[in-house]
A and B are shown apart, each in its own frame.
Chain A
Amino acid sequence: MEITARSLWTLIHGMGFGALYLLACSGGMVELYRYTTPSTQYTPAVGSERFVRWYLIAMVMLAWVAVLTGTFIVYPWYRAAVPAGTVDLSGYPQKLLMAHASTIGWHSLGMEWKEHVAWFTPIAITMVAFVFIKYGRDLKNHHYLRTAVLSFTAASFLAAGVAGFFGAMINKVAPIQGGQTFQLSHGEGK
């Protein structure tokens, strides 16, 4: 069992940061909603608001690390130029997808959408975290701001979901491979 350096980075970017953000986002939305609903009977435990603040800071860090590793580490491998005379396109995912009518959509729709919309996630969640950290439960007294904060949180979830779905599918159809190979374990015959 082995993995290449590029595959490992793709895994860290997608499964490590991206998927963890998506998981965190669902919990974050519930907590934000509960904390900021004016009519709620919910009384937070002592220290739980501080926990939500740190939770949102972790989400902000995950979102930024996910887009930065995606844009500046994994994406250059995806869009690498093919040297003249290359026949095997397996090391050039974008060109591999564009070479077949049945897979070109994964690039022209999937990657084109993913590479841009993913950036909305850190911008939106940074704002959400800032507003929550500054206002806390007082946000329930700001009706329009609360609506905007919850909408931007949902948009960040949607953007991360689009990026995650297409990232996973594209890597399944045209995996990013290459670089140093790490041996994870030695197989045994059965």
Chain B
Amino acid sequence: MSERNTDLSVASPAIPNGSAAAAVLASGIGILVFAVTAFAGDKSPAIKSALIFYKPTGPLSGVAAVGVVCWILCWVLLEWRWGKKTVSAKGICAAALVMLALGLLLTFPPMVDLL
């Protein structure tokens, strides 16, 4: 990502935005990975049975584990890369919001049935 600061600030930010951008993008990625994993489990019986990490909860246990682990790994990685930097927040936030919207859509059952 670029080092430019494209924020529409009203004052100079006291803290570089990299750490917050990392947290925001990691959340978007985690949510999208969660939704895509749930979608894949719904469409493929093989994936569904592979996602049964804890039998009483069924495939939801695997979906949750995959989503949460991806979210934390992405967060740690992005924090390590951007933590002390100023990054272009516009694109990062837009990407995170698109991933959030896609995640919400992909968990809506009528949408899952449609695809």
Chain B 16-59: CB-based contact to A (< 8 A → 1; otherwise 0): 01011101101100110011001000000000000000101110
- Can you spell out 17 A-B residue pairs with CB atoms less than 8 angstroms apart? A79-B57, A108-B109, A116-B38, A117-B104, A119-B34, A119-B63, A123-B67, A123-B71, A131-B24, A134-B15, A140-B10, A142-B20, A144-B90, A145-B89, A152-B27, A155-B104, A158-B104
Q: Nearest chain A CB to B13's CB is how many angstroms away?
A: 4
Question: Which of A119, A124, A151, A159 has the most B CB atoms < 10 Å from its CB?
Answer: A119
Q: Do residues B30 and A134 form an inter-chain contact, with CB atoms below 8 A?
A: no
Q: Nearest chain A CB to B56's CB is how many angstroms away?
A: 3
Q: Nearest chain B CB to A113's CB is how many angstroms away?
A: 5
**Also in contact, A115 and B24, with CB within 8 A (given A141-B13, A142-B13, A145-B7):** no
Contacts of A182 in B (CB 8 A): none
B residues with CB within 8 A of A: 6-15, 17, 19-21, 23-24, 26-27, 30-31, 34-35, 38, 54, 56-58, 60-61, 63-64, 67-68, 71, 89-90, 92-94, 96-97, 100, 103-104, 107-110, 112
Q: Do residues A144 and B93 form an inter-chain contact, with CB atoms below 8 A?
A: yes
Q: How far is the CA of A124 from the CA of B31 in the complex (A)?
A: 8
Contacts of B94 in A (CB 8 A): 144
Q: Do residues B97 and A123 form an inter-chain contact, with CB atoms below 8 A?
A: no
Q: Do residues A142 and B17 form an inter-chain contact, with CB atoms below 8 A?
A: yes
Number of inter-chain CB pairs below 8 Å: 124
Q: Do residues A116 and B26 form an inter-chain contact, with CB atoms below 8 A?
A: no
Given contacts A72-B56, A124-B100, A152-B24, 11 further A-B contacts (CB under 8 A): A71-B57, A72-B61, A75-B60, A119-B68, A120-B103, A123-B68, A138-B15, A142-B7, A143-B7, A148-B96, A149-B24
Q: Do residues A116 and B34 form an inter-chain contact, with CB atoms below 8 A?
A: yes
Instruction: Bin the interface of chain A by size.
Output: 35 or more
Q: How far is the CA of A126 from the CA of B75 in the complex (A)?
A: 12
